[in-house]
Structure 1
Amino acid sequence: MDAQEWKEVFSFICSVEFWRMGVLWTLSLIYSYFQLFRQTLFSAKSKSKPYSPRCSPSSIATRRPICIVTGATSGLGAAAACALSREGYYVVLVGRSLDLLSKIASDIKEQSGDACVKAFQVDLSSFKSIWNFKREFQQWLSDMNMHCSVQLLINNAGILATRSRVTTEGCDKIMATNYVGAFCLTKILLPLLQNSPIPSRVVNVTSFTHRSVSSMKINKETISGKCFSGSRIYPFAHVYEYSKLCLLLFSYELHRQVKLVEQSSQVSVIAVDPGTVKTNIMREFPKCISQLAFFTLRLLGLLQSSEEGVCSILDAALAPPEISGVYFFGGNGRTLKSSPLSYNSKLAKDLWEASSDLFIELQLASGHTT
């Protein structure tokens, strides 16, 4: 490395955000595994099973159920798409790079000759792109003479940017991709999920980092991330934690909402935390820092490959239809209690209302009102 690169590394190591990740995130992860160990230990003593078995997807009039996977260009998204294709789903890949999506689609078809895959180029940080996807997706269903419904939506797309970026719609890039995009996509596709002739499900991929958030203020400025863009030093670690807690609160509130509207609703909602997985999410970090982080996690036995980490996502996706409003962690169909703050129902309702208001604003600004 040259002098400039060493300077950047030194500056990164001296930042508050680096130590927040190194200390709080590690403690949050260790606590999650400790909680899992304690729960498993007590369950063993009581001879009860602390996990949910997987169920195979049902066919619809001899046709494959449809699964949409966001962030499917690499890492967990690509691994989940491959695995769910083997389970019998017609997998719809969603991501920003059409070239990478095409490669993943080809890989899936190579692994299984009868795999059914379709790719759509979508930027989850853009409401306009999400709305265009809905229109193109419904047109594709019509052209293929397929039932106008979705059986499984996996909100997996996520980024960890080290610099402040603002989308064309004025939102912080991390918040827009990790939370606002997932909320908008789910809200737009909810009628298709409810229209499914078999039980359908939303799986939101969250993170143990949500435990590092001790309090939060709900308003449109914080949800959109606008309040962070004016900071002298961009608090990217805090923004990431916040986005994952929002996604978790949203999962629990959506679970309550669909059950409240219709007691016999067939739509279930599950949050899932795959733990630490070796992906390219730290691509904006100095290379030596990301390598050190992976080395340390591997040394502690906490680092997983995408193929290992995807097990928790599959547990959530293939859990029995009656399982809803829970937090999967650790694989083998195991669930945990998330942070106490994530179960604050008033906070979740406030988030729902503020997110719905932001949704309407983005809808009006984009000119898509129908």
Structure 2
Amino acid sequence: MSTLNDTTIIITGATNGIGQVAATELARMGARVVLVGRDAQKSAAVAQAITAQTGNPAVDVLLADLSSQAEVRRLAGEILARYPRIDVLLNNAGAVFGSRQLTVDGIERTFALNHLAYFQLTNLLLERIKASAPARIVNVSSAAHSGATLDFDDLQGQRRYSAFGAYSKSKLANLLFTYELARRLAGSGVTVNAVHPGPVATGFGRNNGGLWGVVFRLIAPLMRTPAQGAATSIYVASSPELAGVSGKYFSDSKAVESSRASHDAAAAARLWQVSAEMTGLPAAGA
């Protein structure tokens, strides 16, 4: 992608932090950016700010609560109706929850938002992305995946829940999904890669009250700026030198090794099967 002119980039979690910075910089490069957010007023304000900063009027807004599978399906339908091509899908939305919560679908919220939303939205858009090749899928993971393993008998933390444990497992799931999808899309012209943004001072984590909220506020001054955190996502989404590079994990704009558990092909295949069942999608996929 030597130029982003005439390209369409979908970005989830695009109205705050690294998602907003990525959207701004990709718009500055000439792309049409489609911001996916939850709040209409905030999303519209961010879109206006991006256009003002970049001079690019091609900044669109779509609204969805990605923890709801019905909302993800509606969002995918709107994207397919409006955009004849999808050059980049940047799955960026995510959160950590201090206490165990359930979504409207009865699914543990961290797993639903951080993993199943990536899986469901990507698969619903996949035929359009393949038809747009060369195209890219970028999944925001985290170094928090290190040390995590998936217990398929307790994926939703019903027996044992900790906020960081649930988050770490969801970020491991992002990598397992990335590598499995890259295997399935080999030769299609669609690349799939994951990124670690680093610890970034954004609104992330501040949705929690009590001790968790206090902790995120205390450590914010020690963290990266959103611009620093977004740099790797922007690089992987746009750099011409990554044309054809797939199935990799990037940190500080360099390919790095992820954990041994993230390379467990059997676990990745099993997670795909379980995720397909949970979202009502065909397991064959890709």
TM-score norm. by structure 1 comes to 0.71
1:58 to 1:279, Cα distance in 2 relative to 1, 3 A: closer
- Structure 1 residue corresponding to 2:13, chosen from 59, 71, 92: 71
1:114 CA drift (Å): 3.1
- Structure 2 residue corresponding to 1:175, chosen from 111, 129, 146: 111
Q: Whole-Å Cα distance in 2 between the matches of residues 177 and 216 of structure 1?
A: 17
- Structure 2 residue corresponding to 1:349, chosen from 266, 269, 285: 269
More helix by share: 1
Question: Which residue identity lines up with residue 127 of structure 1 in the other structure?
Answer: Q
Deviates more, 1:128-137 or 1:246-255: 128-137
- Structure 1 residue corresponding to 2:147, chosen from 193, 198, 212: 212
| Offset from partner CA, 1:182-231 (integer Å, 9 cap, x none) | 100000010110111x4101000000100031x32236x61xx2xx2455
1:322 paired residue number: 244
1:95 paired residue number: 37
1:238 CA drift (Å): 0.5
Tell me if 1:248 matches 2:175. yes
Question: Which residue identity lines up with residue 201 of structure 1 in the other structure?
Answer: R
Q: Whole-Å Cα distance in 2 between the matches of residues 93 and 288 of structure 1?
A: 29
Structure 2: runs of 5+ lacking an equivalent: none
1:99 CA drift (Å): 1.3
Q: Whole-Å Cα distance in 2 between the matches of residues 86 and 93 of structure 1?
A: 14
TM-score norm. by structure 2 comes to 0.92
Runs of 4+, deviation exceeding 4 Å: none
Q: Secondary structure at the match of 1:278?
A: coil
| Offset from partner CA, 1:145-193 (integer Å, 9 cap, x none) | xxx2210000000011112211111111111110001100000010110
* Percent of matched pairs sharing the same residue: 31
Structure 1: runs of 5+ lacking an equivalent: 1-54, 142-147, 364-370
Question: Which residue identity lines up with residue 346 of structure 1 in the other structure?
Answer: A
Q: Whole-Å Cα distance in 2 between the matches of residues 336 and 155 of structure 1?
A: 19
1:291 paired residue number: 217
- Structure 2 residue corresponding to 1:277, chosen from 200, 217, 220: 200
Q: Secondary structure at the match of 1:120?
A: strand
Alignment of 1:20-59 (within 5 A): 55-57=1-3, 59=5
Q: Secondary structure at the match of 2:101?
A: coil
Question: Which residue identity lines up with residue 360 of structure 1 in the other structure?
Answer: G
1:83 to 1:217, Cα distance in 2 relative to 1, 3 A: same
Q: Whole-Å Cα distance in 2 between the matches of residues 291 and 128 of structure 1?
A: 33
| Offset from partner CA, 1:339-362 (integer Å, 9 cap, x none) | 11111111111111111122227x
Tell me if 1:203 matches 2:149. no
Q: Greater Rg, structure 1 or structure 2?
A: 1
C-alpha root-mean-square deviation of aligned residues, in Å?
Answer: 1.7
